[in-house]
């Protein structure tokens, strides 16, 4: 089945608006908490239907920051040419701390970073030695409206920056009609960004009216901001990166939140597996988790049809032609 909303799933497996009215979680327990515990585990079990999609990013900064709902990159094309994806720090082991990455390196995993874009990229300078330290971050909605103390309600955003000398500085929320985060001493780096009890997603911008100055987006609810980044080989102003990505679990709380896997039976068995684990019933838990995986495997096989993946064996790490099968 295609994607489903959290509200639909709750109606089918519990009762919308209450904690539990079925047999799939502990009496009185939170259905949202149960789903947020098993969701990442179910998503991580395989490349399931509706978890894989193509996305496009600009590589002009020399790196790309994946969307927050993306778990990993499966394949990549840079300027319409297929490129390999390398593991973390592959470039440093071969090139040292080189600013420019040659074309042949494709995409290199940079793990996780606090910001979507660094200040050198936003200010269009070469490195941090040329960055103009900033003292203010503007809070803007995804629609481009300013965030007020009334609209954000009890939500808070905590930002810890660092000066050029390496001194940590915690930002202070200032204002009423138009909220900003202000640093007593201007900063050039960011150590952490944490949102708590936010009613909606909030953008942090260095310039309130310029969407290209977004350093990070803090998601609704509780969010520790982290962006998965990849360096781009041969990056130039006109470089575009097409990637086939695997989506990851996003915390659900509202009825309209999207759950990418719509297989109700798979979620039922996953919830029962969690319930068995909580009661130290290892054998029953193993059965339910195995049943959940098998249901998703069957769905993938049914949806694939004749599009069977072909084996491509590369024994020389790209130094020679790969071996293809005949299927």
Closest by Cα among 87, 119, 115 to 227: 115
CA atoms within 13 A on the CB side of 162: 12
Question: Given this model, what pLDDT does residue 1 score?
Answer: 64
**97 three-class SS:** coil
Q: What is the phi/psi pair of residue 159, to 5°?
A: -120, 125
Identify the CA nearest to 15 among candidates 27, 4, 146.
27
Rounded Cα distance between 274 and 292, Å, is 11
CA angle 142, 147, 150 (to 5 degrees): 130
Residue-level pLDDT, tens digit, the chain, 327 residues: 678 999 999 888 876 445 555 668 887 788 999 999 999 999 999 988 889 999 999 999 999 999 999 999 999 999 999 998 988 877 777 777 777 788 888 899 999 999 999 999 999 998 898 999 999 999 999 999 999 999 999 999 999 999 999 999 999 999 999 999 999 999 999 999 999 999 999 999 999 999 999 999 999 999 999 999 999 988 888 999 999 999 999 999 899 999 999 999 999 999 999 999 999 999 999 999 999 999 999 988 777 777 776 676 766 666 566 666 654
- For position 317, what pLDDT does the model report? 64
Q: How many CB atoms lie within 10 A of CB 275?
A: 20
Q: What are the boundaries of each domain within the chain?
A: 4-46+258-304, 52-114+234-247, 117-225
Q: Read off the pTM.
A: 0.86
Contacts of residue 237, defined as CB under 8 A and 6 or more positions apart, other chains included, come to 60
pLDDT tens, residue by residue, 237-269: 899 999 999 999 999 989 999 999 999 999 999
pLDDT at 131: 95
How far apart CA 257 and CA 69 sit, in angstroms, is 12
- Number of H helices and E strands in the chain, helices first, is 7, 21
Closest CA to 38 of 238, 276, 316: 276
> How far apart are the C-alpha atoms of 29 and 40, rounded to whole Å?
19
């Amino acid at each position: 089945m295609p994607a489903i909303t959290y509200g639909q799933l709750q109606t089918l497996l519990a009762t919308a608006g209450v904690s539990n009215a079925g047999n799939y979680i502990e009496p009185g327990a939170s259905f949202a908490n149960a789903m947020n515990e098993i969701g990442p585990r179910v998503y991580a079990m395989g490349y399931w239907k509706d978890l894989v999609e193509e996305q496009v990013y600009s590589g002009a900064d020399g790196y790309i920051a994946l969307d927050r709902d993306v778990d990993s990159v499966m394949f990549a094309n840079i300027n319409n040419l297929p490129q390999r994806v390398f593991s973390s720090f592959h470039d440093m082991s071969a090139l040292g701390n080189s600013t420019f990455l040659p074309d042949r390196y494709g995409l290199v995993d940079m793990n996780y970073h606090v910001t979507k874009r660094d200040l050198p990229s936003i200010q269009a300078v070469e490195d941090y030695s040329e960055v103009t330290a900033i003292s203010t971050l503007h809070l803007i909605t995804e629609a481009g409206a300013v965030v007020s103390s009334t609209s954000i309600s009890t939500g808070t955003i905590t930002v810890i920056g660092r000066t050029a000398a390496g001194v940590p500085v915690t930002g202070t929320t200032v204002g009423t009609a138009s909220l900003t985060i202000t640093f007593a001493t201007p900063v050039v780096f960011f150590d952490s960004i944490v949102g708590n009890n936010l009613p909606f997603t909030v953008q942090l911008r260095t310039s309130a009216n310029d969407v290209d100055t977004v350093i990070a987006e803090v998601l609704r609810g509780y969010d520790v901001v982290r962006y998965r980044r990849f360096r781009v080989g041969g990056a130039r102003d006109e470089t575009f990166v097409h990637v086939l990505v695997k989506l990851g679990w996003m915390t659900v709380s509202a009825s309209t939140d999207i759950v990418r896997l719509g297989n109700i039976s798979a979620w039922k068995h996953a919830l029962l597996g969690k319930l068995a684990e909580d009661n130290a019933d290892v054998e029953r838990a193993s059965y339910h988790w195995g049943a959940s995986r098998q249901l998703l495997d069957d769905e993938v096989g049914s949806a694939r049809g004749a599009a069977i993946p072909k084996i491509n064996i590369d024994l020389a790490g790209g130094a020679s032609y790969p071996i293809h099968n005949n299927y």
